[in-house]
Amino acid sequence: MIRTPPLPPYVAAALLAVTLPTTAYAQSTTGAAGAASSAAASPVPSLADVKLLAEMHLALSAVNDSSDARAAKAKNKTLDAQAELAKEKREAVAKVIKDRGLTTEQYQRLRFQVSTNADLRAQFDSIVGKLTGAPVPGRVVAAAAPGFVPAAQLPAGLVGTHIGHVTTSYVDTPDKAGLLVVAFAEAAVASQHATLATRTPNDLAAMKLHAGHVLHALDPELQKTGPGKGFGLRKAAGGVAQHIELAAKETGASGNVKIHATHIAAAARGTLSRVEQAVALIKQIQDATEAKAASSLVAQLASLCSQLTSGADSNADGRVDWGNGEGGLQQAQEHVQLLIAGEKRPG
């Protein structure tokens, strides 16, 4: 079964409130005889069964997320507390399954059937995608990553080498991706988890958990573990500014490269400025002792993280410029594209 990012408790509650009609699958496997039958002998799950499983999967993920957040609290580090939390988690999992009208055996059999049938798995992934907004695995034609430029389109010589470090490949990044590509990926993780934090305004532990995830995407030196790439937006955006400026300083750099390098570097530094602001907000969230205070800070963090990519219209002139601190990664990418287009030669 795929691992979908867990949903907050209030979403799980909403999912559990959904009432589905009793399915043919559940009817056919009720009782000891049905529970003892093999997966191969069970009827093929219907679309309603797959929908049921998808909703249960998300609800169980929410249980795990909430349980992990509670287990991470300092006051719950004792063996007795951990044992009690484990017991509560087992009971919550059992309730999710029971509330859907299945036994544990029926749930496991349905899960196995969907996991091992390509068509059912595709249905499951599609339903999960609709419920969470996540892309459907293996069913979307891959597009070029934001910020990526093929090596064949780069200028010749050291100018192209430095631009390539920004757009195409860099030795120290995950998968040796370009620095701007990594910056987009880390910014997406930061924005996602800042948004997740806003969904639990009454749960201080959950807000702190997701704030830590944001911090890992921004700077893994400050937060060692998390869902980011392990490189960090701070380092990636700084690298974009550094290497595009190195390209502009090379002897063979054209006027086109020099102009757009200035714009790209400025937009990257605008992003860096927001990274610093976000880190400061996260520190306040982590120091908060009440959910109400943290919730206000989390709302600010989510807004700021959305601007890491989009930039911000600070002077309210109806557009986001690359300069004046307004630019974000999107503006950097736009000027990368303009730079590449300006370097193309006929024939």
Q: Is residue 173 part of a domain?
A: yes
pLDDT of residue 347: 41
CA 59, CA 4: separation in Å to the nearest integer? 11
Domains identified in the chain, total number: 2
Express each pLDDT in 55-104 by its tens digit: 888 888 888 878 777 877 778 888 888 888 889 989 988 898 899 888 88
Express each pLDDT in 284-326 by its tens digit: 999 999 999 999 999 999 999 999 999 999 888 888 999 989 9
Local confidence band at 335 (pLDDT 50, 70, 90 cut-offs): very high
CA distances from 159 to 153, 246, 334 (A): 12, 8, 19
Q: State which residues form the domain around 115.
A: 9-132
| Of 295, 281, 245, residue with least CA distance to 265 | 245
Domain shared by 182 and 123, yes or no = no
CA distances from 262 to 146, 153, 179, 308 (A): 20, 20, 17, 19
Local confidence band at 37 (pLDDT 50, 70, 90 cut-offs): very low
Domain shared by 201 and 70, yes or no = no
CA 188, CA 185: separation in Å to the nearest integer? 5
Number of H helices and E strands in the chain, helices first, is 14, 0
Q: Is residue 146 part of a domain?
A: no
- Among 81, 103, 132, residue at a domain's last position: 132
CA 163, CA 309: separation in Å to the nearest integer? 20
What DSSP designation does 125 have? H
Domain shared by 337 and 220, yes or no = yes
- Among 103, 132, 161, residue at a domain's last position: 132
CA 209, CA 41: separation in Å to the nearest integer? 43
Domain shared by 189 and 258, yes or no = yes
pLDDT of residue 35: 36
Domain shared by 15 and 99, yes or no = yes
Domain shared by 162 and 122, yes or no = no
Domain shared by 157 and 14, yes or no = no
Domain shared by 101 and 41, yes or no = yes
Express each pLDDT in 6-33 by its tens digit: 444 433 333 333 333 333 344 344 433 3
Domain shared by 59 and 119, yes or no = yes
